[in-house]
């Protein structure tokens, strides 16, 4: 049985008017941070413990993946005193 043209049109309309999803929060764990570093950093892409501590301090317990990616990409451009908190 072929659906009526109006039924197909209504179904397509319902699909195009979905509300945008809110970004999912993920745990700011060492594993998630290291995975992001491997993906984003060109070489020497493993984070050292001070960088992991800094990222966990800045991001908190949960963050979106885009927030994690942004901070991981930024961490290598920071001075060591900013990372360790010895300002």
Distance of CA 60 to the CA centre of its chain: 13
Asked if the structure places residue 5 within a domain, the reply is no
What pLDDT, on a 0 to 100 scale, did the predictor assign at position 22? 86
pLDDT digits (tens, 9 = 90+) for 28-46: 999 999 999 999 998 878 9
* Residue ranges in the chain whose pLDDT is less than 50: none
Mean of pLDDT over the chain: 86
> Is 14 contained in some domain?
no
Main-chain phi, psi angles of 57, to 5 degrees: -70, -40
Q: Please report whether residue 25 resides in a domain.
A: yes
Identify the pLDDT of residue 1.
61
- Supply the pLDDT for residue 7: 56
Domain of residue 72: give its range. 21-84
pLDDT at 38: 95
Per the structure, the count of domains in the chain is 1
- Say which DSSP state 49 is in: H
Calculate helix-pair angle for 30-40, 49-59, nearest 10 degrees: 110
pTM of the predicted protein model: 0.73
- How far is residue 15 from each of residues 9, 10, 79, measured CA to CA in Å? 10, 9, 48
Residue 47 in domain: yes
């Amino acid at each position: 049985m072929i659906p009526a043209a109006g039924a197909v049109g209504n179904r397509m309309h319902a699909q195009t008017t979905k509300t945008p999803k809110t970004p999912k929060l993920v745990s700011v764990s060492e594993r998630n941070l290291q995975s992001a570093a491997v993906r984003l950093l060109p070489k020497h892409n493993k984070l050292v413990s001070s960088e992991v501590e800094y990222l966990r301090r800045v991001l908190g317990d949960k963050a979106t993946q885009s927030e994690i990616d942004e901070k991981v990409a930024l961490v290598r451009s920071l001075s060591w005193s900013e990372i360790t908190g010895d300002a």
